[in-house]
Structure 1
Amino acid sequence: MFRSLHRLLFSVLALSAPAFANPPLVEVVQPELRLVRDELVTFGSLRSDESLMIRPEVDGRVAQLHFREGQAVSAGDLLVSLDDAITRAELAQAEANLSLAQKNYERAQRLFSRGASNAQARDEAQAEEQAASASLALARARLDKTRLHAPHDGVLGLRHVSPGDYLEAGQDIVNLEVLDPLKVEFRVPQKSAGRIRPGQRIEIAVDAWPDERFVGEVYAINPRVDEAGRSQALRAHVGNAERRLQPGQFVRVAVILAERPDALVVPEEALVPRGDKTQLALVEDGKAVFREVRSGRRKDGWVEIVEGLDAAEQVISAGWQKVSQGSEVRVRRVERSE
């Protein structure tokens, strides 16, 4: 009697065991809409938009420096005065010579009009007057060359001379740099150059500001491909109003090829590899469903799903290894942070 009751109880427990077993627990997330960009990442350097060396065109002694090193200047500002004693004396002499030549020409004209002189004498006086006028213009030009002005707005560098130095024509005085905007010089592989056009947006990153990206725009593409590296040189402009970027800095350049502001993304760990195919495990009516999808860009732990997924569906991000097609699951929703 006792053995019969024991067998009956064991049979009841065995038959009812599946009813007490819980389905596997999985974590699910909701697909998100995010900005996804196709980028071409390379490296480059910053250059001044304009960079020149202030040099004298004539020999002379430095009489005065009208600037401070590192000073911002405007176009036309006086930078250097050379000693002009000799050139001013030459100018005064040229003015006196012109005055005399003009009077001689006037006298020759009056004599010719009264028939007291011939045309040759008048023409010679006219030529002397014209030569004296040219000498005066030359003397004024030489005097102007003793005063050096800034050719455009910019920031001065470090000077190479001091007041009292004797300079030869073409000797370095100080460099002038245009720092806003700056040029970004970089290269891209030959196969990628065809995807870039003037006006295309770029973003650069520098070690000095690791958490920021500075926006620029491509403005020139070298039509000639470098034969050694099979790459193409490009230039872009990037704004630098706050002077946080410096010429010569090494930069990482991201050329923005395409943007999709409402791309569908899921956590990278939700992807289910199946040979050469990619799948996602979804939850539909409390059951696991495996579906093939086409993925796109991957970045920062997220992957873009180009095809095969709807934004309203639930994606299993953890635990898909414990389930099979059509098996019942218990769901725990997970909120992902950035």
Structure 2
Amino acid sequence: MAKAIRWIVGLLVVAAFAGAGVYGTRYLTGTQSEPAAKQERSATRIAVSTPQRRNLEDRYSAVGTVLPLRSIELRPLAAGRVVSAPVSSGDQLSEGDLVFELDSRAARAELANAEASFEEARQELERFEELEDRNISSEARIETVRAAYRRAEAALQLRRANLDDRRLLAPFDGVVGAYDLDPGEYIDPATVVSTLQDLSAVEAEFALPERYFARARKGQTVRLSARPYPDRRFTGEVDFVSPTIAEGSRSFDVRVRVDNDDRALAGGMFVDAELVFETYEGLTVPDDAVISEGSATYVFTVEDGRARRTDIALGQSSDGQSEIVDGLNEEAQVVVTGWDNLSDGAPVEIVGEAALDEVLD
């Protein structure tokens, strides 16, 4: 009897442990699978955009230097003391304006002497030509008189030029550079008094790599920007393409002519230049959608409610848009925001930009 009771008690204990095991297994399974299921159902909220076709430009960007259309050093053509210096630094001169004048007393005296000698030679020539007409003077004598006349004429022209050289006139309209000249100062042809720059138009010079040599040509459009004018854009055309390639840099120079009526651009100023080779239509996505990791460039697209990593090839990038050369079509739904926590195959929920901002906040 006691043995039977022990057998029944043992059977009950085994049954109790078995029941506890089943219950524990169900409990553990339930507590572990419920979060997993919940996690599977939780989708990342994203905003998407479809690729758009836009007018794009094939262009090259470079840094250039502004050059005046014309620029010269103002030097005297003769030596002497300054008697007039009516110009100040930064003055706008017109062609023919006086820049400075040197003492011309000696030059005027020499000119007067040359004029007198020329008049004597002229009268002598007239007299001998009259004698020649009457066959009184010899041919040799008349040639000697004619030679003397030509020498007197040349001397007169030289003295006139010497007098003109005592005054320097502006050869074209332009702006005077730093000018520090006072009456009484002695200067000679080695003295650089100032500079004169024609800034009514300017040239921007920059270099292009050798690979663009066959594509650069006169007349192409170039857009320029300068740091002093962050909100302004200047436009010009290619005016010169160098016919040679520099050996060291393997590049060639290009010059662009730009109208500068308001004198906004100054000589020596740096400018950012964009040379437009051609315009074309291309497929683009917002820059914010493009992800770069090492050598890989990709976006996340949406297919059947899940994120798909899609490798792409990029072209030009401007105005917040990146050109897609390969990897996408116009029907693709591209994740623009919310992709930072995505992985390939993750469930997603598409919401509007405003709704997404609220979620992220």
- Tell me which interval the TM-score lies in, with the shorter structure as reference length: 0.7 to 0.9
CA RMSD of aligned residues (A): 3.5
1:313 to partner: Cα distance: 6.1
Q: Which residue of 2 aligns with 1:164?
A: 184
Cα gap change, 1:182/1:111 in structure 2, threshold over 3 Å: closer, same or farther?
Answer: closer
Q: Which residue of 1 aligns with 2:60?
A: 40
Choose between structure 1 and 2: higher strand proportion. 1
Cα gap change, 1:153/1:120 in structure 2, threshold over 3 Å: closer, same or farther?
Answer: same
Is 1:214 aligned to residue 212 of structure 2?
Answer: no
Secondary structure, counterpart of 1:96 in structure 2 = helix
Is 1:332 aligned to residue 351 of structure 2?
Answer: yes
1:178 to partner: Cα distance: 1.6
Matched length: 315
Is the Cα contact below 8 Å between 1:270 and 1:281 reproduced in 2? Answer: no
Cα distance in 2, alignment partners of residues 24 and 171 from structure 1: 76
- 2:353 is aligned with what amino acid? V
Q: Which residue of 1 aligns with 2:84?
A: 64
Q: Tell me which of 290, 305, 309 is aligned to 2:324.
A: 305
1:176 to partner: Cα distance: 0.5
1:311 to partner: Cα distance: 5.0
- 1:317 is aligned with what amino acid? V
1:198 to partner: Cα distance: 2.5
CA displacement 1:43-64 (0-9 Å, x = unmatched): 2322222211111222222221
Residues 213-232 of structure 1: pairs in structure 2 closer than 5 A: 213-232=233-252
CA displacement 1:206-232 (0-9 Å, x = unmatched): 322233332232222223322223322
Cα distance in 2, alignment partners of residues 62 and 272 from structure 1: 70
CA displacement 1:22-51 (0-9 Å, x = unmatched): 876442334445443333222232222221
Residues 169-318 of structure 1: pairs in structure 2 closer than 5 A: 169-260=189-280, 262-271=281-290, 278=298, 281-282=301-302, 287=305, 295-299=314-318, 301-306=320-325, 314-318=333-337
Greater displacement, 53-62 / 119-128: 119-128
Greater displacement, 186-195 / 23-32: 23-32
Secondary structure, counterpart of 1:298 in structure 2 = strand
Greater displacement, 70-79 / 25-34: 25-34
Is the Cα contact below 8 Å between 1:272 and 1:281 reproduced in 2? Answer: no
With normalisation by structure 2, the TM-score equals 0.72
Is 1:98 aligned to residue 89 of structure 2?
Answer: no
Cα distance in 1, alignment partners of residues 132 and 320 from structure 2: 99
Q: Which residue of 1 aligns with 2:154?
A: 134
- Report sequence identity in percent: 31
Secondary structure, counterpart of 2:245 in structure 1 = strand
- 2:321 is aligned with what amino acid? W
Cα distance in 1, alignment partners of residues 83 and 292 from structure 2: 78
Cα distance in 2, alignment partners of residues 95 and 263 from structure 1: 78
Is 1:29 aligned to residue 49 of structure 2?
Answer: yes
Structure 1, unaligned runs of 5 or more: 1-13
Greater displacement, 271-280 / 163-172: 271-280
Is 1:155 aligned to residue 175 of structure 2?
Answer: yes
CA displacement 1:225-264 (0-9 Å, x = unmatched): 222233222222233222222211233333223333x543
Choose between structure 1 and 2: higher helix proportion. 2
Greater displacement, 103-112 / 54-63: 103-112
Structure number with bigger Rg: 2
Q: Tell me which of 137, 140, 146 is aligned to 2:166.
A: 146
Is the Cα contact below 8 Å between 1:280 and 1:293 reproduced in 2? Answer: no
